[in-house]
Amino acid sequence: MNWDETAPSTDDAATGPDRLVAADADGEETAVEAALRPKDLEEFVGQERVREQLDLVLRAARARGATADHVLLSGAPGLGKTTLSMIIAAEMGAPIRITSGPAIQHAGDLAAILSSLQEGEVLFLDEIHRMSRPAEEMLYMAMEDFRVDVIVGKGPGATAIPLELPPFTLVGATTRAGLLPPPLRDRFGFTGHMEFYAPVELERVIHRSAGLLEVDIAPEGAAEIAGRSRGTPRIANRLLRRVRDYAQVKADGVITRETAEQALDVYEVDGRGLDRLDRAVLTALLKLFGGGPVGLSTLAVAVGEERETVEEVAEPFLVREGLLARTPRGRIATPAAWSHMGLVPPQQQAGAGGQQGLFGP
C-alpha cells in the first residue's frame, strides 16, 4: 500500500491509531490470504494438466535425490503462480526465497541473492519479465552452470571472479511470457501455462475457503460468487470474504444466493463480474463515443484513470468477455457490450426511424 503523507485528510494517510488500524487490517487480510493457500499439489484446485506435469517433475527429482529443474509459470494474476512456487518448495522439502523482477535492477542485486542460496533452495522470481538486462544475462549462467562471474573494479582493470553456486531451483512467474527473451525461456526445464478457472472449479475453491474461514455457505451462494469471480481464485476468495462480512452484519451469517447477490451489489460487482471501473469504461465508450473506435488515452481521460490502469486492469477482462475489441483505429464496443449495459446501438436506432435519441427516448 502506498502512503500519501501529503494528504492528511485521507484514511491511508492517517497517523497514530488510525494508521495502525489500517496497517493491522491490511496485515490481517494478508494473513487470511496466506492461510487459504493450498499446501500441496493434492490440495491445489484446478490447473489439472499443469499439476499432473509438475507432479511428475518433482517426483522424478526426489527419486533421483536431485534438485528439481527450473520452472516457469505464466498466466494472468491471481491464478496460483505464487502458491505453486510454495508448493514446489514444500514438495521438495526445501526453503524458499521470494523476490521480484522490479527489485533486481542491477547484476549485483542478483549476485547477492544467488550467493546466499542454500543447496536445493527454491528461488521464486515474480514478474521475471521486468528484470534488468544485466541481471538477466547473469541469470543465464547461474541457471545453466550454477556459477556467476562477479566483476571487481571498473574499466580496463576490471576482473571477473567466478563464484560457484549450490544447485538451486528457480521458479519464474510472469504475466507476459512473450516479453521473455528466448535464451531465458530455453533454460527452464518445465514451463506451465495457467488457465482461467471454470465456474465449477471456483465453486470448489470457495467451498474449501469457506470451510477454512468457518463460514456457512449454501451451494447456490458459492455458485453466485463463482460466477462473478472472473475465472480467478484470488478474486473468488476476496469476494467470499466481503460476502461473509455482509452476511454477518446484514443477514444471519449464512451465505445464500440472495445474500451473495445483495452483498455483491453493494460492492458494485455485477452478474458477469464487472466492477465499477469496467462499467465506467463501457459507459464512456458507449455513451460518449457511440461505441468507438476511440483511442486508449482518450478513453482513460474520459473515465478519470491512468492509461495503464485501463489497459492492464479493465481491458483484458472486457476483451476476454467479448465486450470490447481492440482495432488499429482504437477500442470498439461489441454488440454484447450494448446488450449488457442495456443500451441500443446507434445503427439500430437509426433503423427504427430516428424517433429516439442516441440513448433512449
Under the banding of pLDDT at 50, 70 and 90, the label for residue 346 is confident
Whether 10 sits among the annotated catalytic residues: the reply is: no
Whether 250 sits among the annotated catalytic residues: the reply is: no
49 is in an annotated binding site: no
Under the banding of pLDDT at 50, 70 and 90, the label for residue 28 is low
257 is in an annotated binding site: no
119 is in an annotated binding site: no
Domains of the chain, each with CATH number or no CATH: 48-193 (3.40.50.300), 199-266 (1.10.8.60), 276-346 (1.10.10.10)
pLDDT, one tens digit per residue, over 165-224 is: 889 999 999 998 888 888 888 899 999 999 999 999 999 999 999 999 999 999 999 999
149 is in an annotated binding site: no
pLDDT, one tens digit per residue, over 275-289 is: 999 999 999 999 999
pTM above 0.95, yes or no: no
Whether 175 sits among the annotated catalytic residues: the reply is: yes
Q: Which of 82, 232, 256, 259 is catalytic?
A: 82
51 is in an annotated binding site: no
Q: Note the pLDDT of residue 13.
A: 41
Q: Which of 81, 230, 238, 244 is catalytic?
A: 81
Whether 283 sits among the annotated catalytic residues: the reply is: no
329 is in an annotated binding site: no
69 is in an annotated binding site: no
Q: Which of 175, 232, 256, 259 is catalytic?
A: 175
Q: Which of 51, 228, 230, 234 is catalytic?
A: 234
Contacts 24+ apart (CB under 8 A), 25-32: 26/1, 29/241, 32/213, 32/241
Whether 81 sits among the annotated catalytic residues: the reply is: yes
Q: Integer distance in angstroms from the first to the last C-alpha of the chain?
A: 45
**Extended beta strands in the chain, E state:** 71-74, 96-100, 122-126, 147-152, 159-164, 169-174, 190-193, 216-217, 254-255, 324-327, 330-333
Furthest CA-CA distance within the chain: 82
